[in-house]
Amino acid sequence: MLKNGLRLFFAVILSLFFLTGVTLAQSAEELIKNGDVFYAKWEDQNALNEYLKALQLEPKNYEALWKAARGYVDVADLLSGSGKEVDKKKFEMYGQAVELARRAIQVNPNDTWGHFFLSAALGKKVLLQGKKEQIDASKLIKAEIEKAIELDPKNDLAYHALGRWHRRMAEIGGAKRALGSLIYGSIPKGSFEESEKYLQKAVELNPEYINHHLELGRTYVAMKKYDQAEAEFNKCLTLPETSSKDKLLKEEARQELNKLNKKS
């Protein structure tokens, strides 16, 4: 009886050890799938954690690299509060996203997502820096966006980014541009018409994405097309939420509508 009891005890211990070993031995592919499940549930931090675990196993896994870059951007975007400490944390996270995206491009330079998330992370990071850094980075950001589009002409997020880029450059007026060029060097040119064109393309490719309509509305405001802007902001409020950021984006759309009402 004692021997049978010992055998049963050791069998249980071995089975527990085996099960634990299976859990610990998850592959990078399985960890990425775990991250995708969390991402689909808008649990951005948990998704990022899984992608980082995958990179511990496979540091050159392209999918884990660009998805971890995306994760850092998403988590940083949703950090609450304001002030130097929050900005510092965001700056660090966008910086980590930049490095991961660059590593992704080294592994696979011929896919859209490494280039797109490099442009996105750089764009977010330099907004927390000075004007000189923003101008210096603007050409590289545009080049990475255009490369993302070249590699995938259906990448709606890249068209969105290019539309925003053109609006930001167009907002730098003549006198401000001339003065800025003297201080910081040549400033790239953009146009509201190009911004409108690219954001319309983003909406065409993905009409359910709230942020496309929000930014198109902002471009219409810049062009003084207030009726069209109002229609886009109202569209934001009627669309279902499809990402972790959409609640905040809807609130921004409401604020834009309030500004329009004050103009009328």
Give a yes or no: residue 190 inside a domain: yes
Instruction: Note the pLDDT of residue 186.
Output: 67
Give a yes or no: residue 6 inside a domain: no
Instruction: Note the pLDDT of residue 263.
Output: 75
Give a yes or no: residue 20 inside a domain: no
Instruction: Note the pLDDT of residue 11.
Output: 52
Structure tokens at 66: 């660009």
Instruction: Note the pLDDT of residue 205.
Output: 98
Residue 198 phi/psi, 5-degree rounding, is -70, -35
Q: What three-state secondary structure class fits 191? A: coil
Looking at the structure, do residues 121 and 214 belong to the same domain, yes or no?
Answer: no
Instruction: Note the pLDDT of residue 130.
Output: 83
Q: Which domain holds residue 200?
A: 154-264
In the chain, what is the greatest distance between 2 CA atoms, to the nearest angstrom?
95
Residue that terminates a domain, selected from 135, 150, 165? 150
Give a yes or no: residue 10 inside a domain: no
Give a yes or no: residue 204 inside a domain: yes
The list of the chain residues with pLDDT below 70 reads 1-25, 173-186, 264
Looking at the structure, do residues 123 and 189 belong to the same domain, yes or no?
Answer: no
Q: Report the number of distinct structural domains present in the chain.
A: 2
Looking at the structure, do residues 114 and 190 belong to the same domain, yes or no?
Answer: no
CATH number of the domain where residue 264 is located: 1.25.40.10
Rounded Cα distance between 261 and 225, Å, is 14
174-227 pLDDT per residue, tens: 545 544 454 455 677 899 999 999 999 999 999 999 999 999 999 999 999 999
